[in-house]
């Protein structure tokens, strides 16, 4: 695949519109199976509360994956991410209902680099909490 976003068509400061990602308990169970992370705080409400959490929480890496998905959906090529990093700054609490939680991811082009690469700064929030900080992706554009 080739990136559909063209380097010459983006500017520093350009905002990438926010996308909402729904997170339900079922998503966490499926992610646990794929990742091998079956820690009970990600699926067992009784256990999560016993260890002091408000409820079941999403895997940090699942939340990071939603930010990565946001970038790849924008650029049109999953292989276009050259570098990607975040810090986990808050939890995504996932209630046991039909709605679950929502992670809203948005981005801004922070810097244009050589070789048609850009730095995209990402913001990920769940409710009032910023769940990822220092979230950045270096993306290869066409």
pLDDT tens readout for residues 76-88: 999 999 999 999 9
What span, in angstroms and rounded, lies between the C-alpha atoms of 42 and 45? 8
Sign of CA dihedral 123, 4, 112, 138: positive
Rounded-to-integer distance, Cα 87 and Cα 85, Å? 7
- Whether the Cβ atoms of residue 61 and residue 100 lie closer than 8 Å to each other: no
Per-residue model confidence as pLDDT tens digits over 24-74? 999 999 999 999 999 999 999 999 999 999 999 999 999 999 999 999 999
Can you say whether residue 92 is alpha, beta or left, with left for phi > 0 and alpha for psi between -120 and 50 degrees?
Answer: beta
> CB of 1 within 8 A of CB of 76?
yes
Classify each residue of 68-85 as buried b or exposed e, where b means 16 or more C-beta atoms within 10 Å of its C-beta.
bebbbebbebeebbeebe
Percent above pLDDT 70 for the chain = 100
pLDDT of 2: 86
Backbone angles phi, psi at 65, to 5 degrees: -65, -35
pLDDT of 131 higher than 90: yes
* pTM of the predicted model as reported, rounded to 2 decimal places: 0.95
What is the pLDDT at residue 78?
93
1, pLDDT greater than 90: no
């Amino acid at each position: 695949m080739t990136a559909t976003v063209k380097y010459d068509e983006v500017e520093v400061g350009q905002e990438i519109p926010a996308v909402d990602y729904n997170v339900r308990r079922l998503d966490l169970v499926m992610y646990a199976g794929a990742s091998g992370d079956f820690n009970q705080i990600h699926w067992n409400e009784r256990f999560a509360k016993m260890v002091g959490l408000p409820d079941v929480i999403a895997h940090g890496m699942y939340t990071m994956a939603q930010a990565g998905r946001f970038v790849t959906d924008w650029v049109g090529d999953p292989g276009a991410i050259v570098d990607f990093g975040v810090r986990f700054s808050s939890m995504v609490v996932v209630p046991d209902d039909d709605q679950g939680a929502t992670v809203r991811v948005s981005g801004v082009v922070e810097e244009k680099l050589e070789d048609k690469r850009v730095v995209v700064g990402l913001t990920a929030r769940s409710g009032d909490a910023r769940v990822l900080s220092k979230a950045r992706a270096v993306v290869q554009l066409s």
